[in-house]
Amino acid sequence: MCGIFGVYNYYGDTAAFRQRALDLIRHRGPDWSGCITAGNNIICHERLAIVGIDTGAQPLTDEDETLILTVNGEIYNHRQLEQELKQPAAFKTHSDCEVILHMYKEIGTEVCGRLDGMFSWALLDRRDPAKPRVVAARDPIGITTLYVGRVSAHPETVFIASELKCLNDECNQIDEFPPGHYFDSADGQFHRYFRPDWWAPERIPTAAADYRRLREALTAAVRKRLMAEVPYGVLLSGGLDSSLISSIAVREAARISTTAGSDVEDIDTRGARYFPRMHSFSVGLPGAPDLVAARKVAKFLGTAHHEYTYTVQEGLDAIADVIYHLETYDVTTVRASTPMYLMSRKIKSAGVKMVLSGEGSDEVFGGYLYFHYAPSAREFHKECVTRVHNLHTSDCLRANKATMAWGLEARVPFLDKDFLQAAMNVRPEDKLCSRDVMEKAIIRRAFDVEFEGAGFTDDEIAQGPYLPRDVLWRQKEQFSDGVGYSWIDSLKDWAARRVSDDAMAAAAQRFPHDTPATKEAYLYREIFEQHFPQPACLRSVVRWTPRTDWGCSADPSGRAQKIHEQAY
């Protein structure tokens, strides 16, 4: 993961502007900086080296430098794509991203749909000197962040950047780059390339749960994400999602490291061979539920476990910086991102540069506690699809920006394309939760060796359970709750002291657009506009809220739902 920035057809001083933009995303790429100016076009890159660390500096160019590419992300199927090239290609680096350049030369924008990974990239095509062209793309779900900016006085100019802050002072129109799309300056339009059959919320799948397929697809998703040439680990909260990813990662790393050669030649398995012992990381207030659970899981899995605690005051002191890096004022995202932001700094100081994380499971399987209130299986499924559509505005944004604030990369196996294809095509009746059926029971069963319908062979059962049963069947605990129940309470009290009743009563006048409904939301909005005062910066912010029309609480905390064991 890195930081990218590009300007197509810039109207001003390219030398002065490129340096200012690079400085704003230096945190995303602490390992190297690169920039190419071609006429009035700028292509820049701030590098976090994970793969191809010896030769992977960017921007990347072809032989005659008519194609210039900057990429933020990881291409897990790069070896397979390299083998599919029809023309001999002279690779200049060992980077997994360079294959985009050569495939684009052969098949143009069709390369977007061929990539398996998380990515944002911009490519300047100067093969026709009279008509230079920029093409940019973002991964299917929006795991990586990307923004597009324009200036009304110069409609022919396009800005593309990993973060909003690069565009804040220059553009009066800023939009989030839509996931699953590419942009082509040849027609000035966005084009959707990601069109899975499950994408339309109105299409209700009818296939029964195939537990073996789910298990194999998630295992494959974790395996391919072990691609690295640097120390890596797992974020372990002790909840189902992170514990399951950790368990699979430990198993796959052990299997790969003890095998003479990769049994999947197209997958880059260097990470597991270089660093077979898994490191796990957890964070919370002293005595937090997540710390206790994570400790138990780490002992069960045999990871090298690192436990970090923070105080409420340390968390409050970080809020302004967190909002600056997140570039959102969404309450749920700020609450959950603060401990992740603090933990990421500790992880980076330990020399680790990449971690696996469990984002996406709750959207795919309806894991949030408010899903218990779904009025029907149909509505349950539609909400799952809608939540996956919006992941780039919340959990993906948090996982990307809270970690990349310190130059740490987070990978999310639950959002693997093949896994999504398997999981999102399961009939909603098999995902429903109720008083008698725990949320996400479907994925719990898939990894429960005692569940007869999971399709485990005798040999697989003999390998033992993936997790202790009380972890595999632990109730959903949202990250902002699990780090310590007093965390959210302290945030509310802090906001109540800083925002007066009179200010709150006049919130609609102060913030006519997307008016905050609580003092906590008011405070975050106020801090956001101190960092990003331009009205254009509001366009990309989306607030995460439960479905109050289902009769549940509007408070995004899981503890606000009556189904929670520790409901308030």
CATH number, residue 187: 3.60.20.10
Looking at the fold, whether 139 and 248 belong to one and the same domain comes out as no
In a domain, 61, yes or no: yes
Is residue 177 within 8 Å of residue 146, measured between CB atoms? Answer: yes
Containing structural domain, residue 407: 211-487
Q: For residue 47, give the DSSP letter.
A: E
Quick one: 306 and 229 in the same domain?
A: yes
- Here the tokens at position 32 are 């190297």
Q: Is 357 annotated as a binding residue?
A: yes
Annotation marks residue 44 as catalytic? no
Cα angle, residue 341 at apex, residues 58 and 97 outer, rounded to 5°: 20
**Active-site hit among 2, 35, 166, 537:** 2
Domain boundary among 487, 514, 529: 487
Specify whether 188 is located in the same domain as 217: no
Consult the annotation and say whether 123 binds a ligand.
Answer: no
Co-location of 152 and 249 in the same domain: no
Domain assignment present for residue 101? The answer is yes
Which distant-in-sequence residues (6+ apart) come within 8 Å of 377 by Cβ?
Answer: 204, 427, 428, 429, 432
Q: Which residues, in sequence order, are bridge partners of residue 191?
A: 182
- Output the DSSP codes for 388-455: HHTGGGTHHHHHHHHHHTTT-EEE-GGG-HHHHHHHTTB-GGGT---SSS-TTHHHHHHT-TT-GGG-
Question: Which residue's entry shows tokens 């690169």?
Answer: 34
* Cα-only R_g, the chain: 23
| pTM of the shown model | 0.94
Query: Does 523 map to a domain?
Result: no
Phi, psi of 409 (to 5 degrees): -100, 135
Q: Is residue 511 part of a domain?
A: no
State whether residue 142 is helix, strand or coil: coil
226 & 128 share domain: no
Domain boundary among 137, 159, 192: 192
Q: Are 181 and 193 in contact, with CB atoms under 8 Å apart?
A: yes
Q: Give me the amino acid identity at 418.
A: D
Structurally, the chain folds into a number of domains equal to 2
283 is in an annotated binding site: yes
185 and 146, same structural domain? Answer: yes
Is residue 42 within 8 A of residue 17, CB to CB? The reply is yes
Q: For residues 218 and 420, give the distance between their C-alpha atoms in angstroms, rounded to a whole number.
A: 9
**pLDDT value at position 264?**
46
- Cβ proximity of 165 and 24 under 8 Å: yes
Q: Which of these three, 134, 162, 192, is where a domain ends?
A: 192
Q: What distance in Å separates the CA atoms of residue 550 and residue 433, rounded to the nearest whole number?
A: 14
- For residue 538, being part of any structural domain is answered with no
Domain contains 555: no
- Position 510 scores a pLDDT of 97
Residues 129 and 186 reside in one and the same domain:
yes
Is 77 in contact with 116 (CB distance < 8 Å)?
yes
- Please report, for the domain that includes residue 452, its CATH number: 3.40.50.620
To the question of whether residue 471 is assigned a binding role by annotation, the answer is no
Residues 386-430 have pLDDT tens digits of 999 999 999 999 999 999 999 999 999 999 999 999 999 999 999
358 in a labelled binding site: yes
Residues 407 and 349 both lie in one domain: yes
Q: Are 227 and 302 within one domain?
A: yes
The verdict on 319 and 350 lying in the same domain is yes
Q: Return the bridge partners of 232, or none.
A: 354
Residue 179 lies in a domain: yes
Quick check: is 550 in a domain?
A: no
Same domain, residue pair 237 and 90: no
Predicted pLDDT at 54: 86
In angstroms, the CA 124 to CA 61 distance is 10
Same domain, 162 and 75: yes
Residues of the chain with confidence (pLDDT) below 70: 260-274, 276, 476-482, 556-568
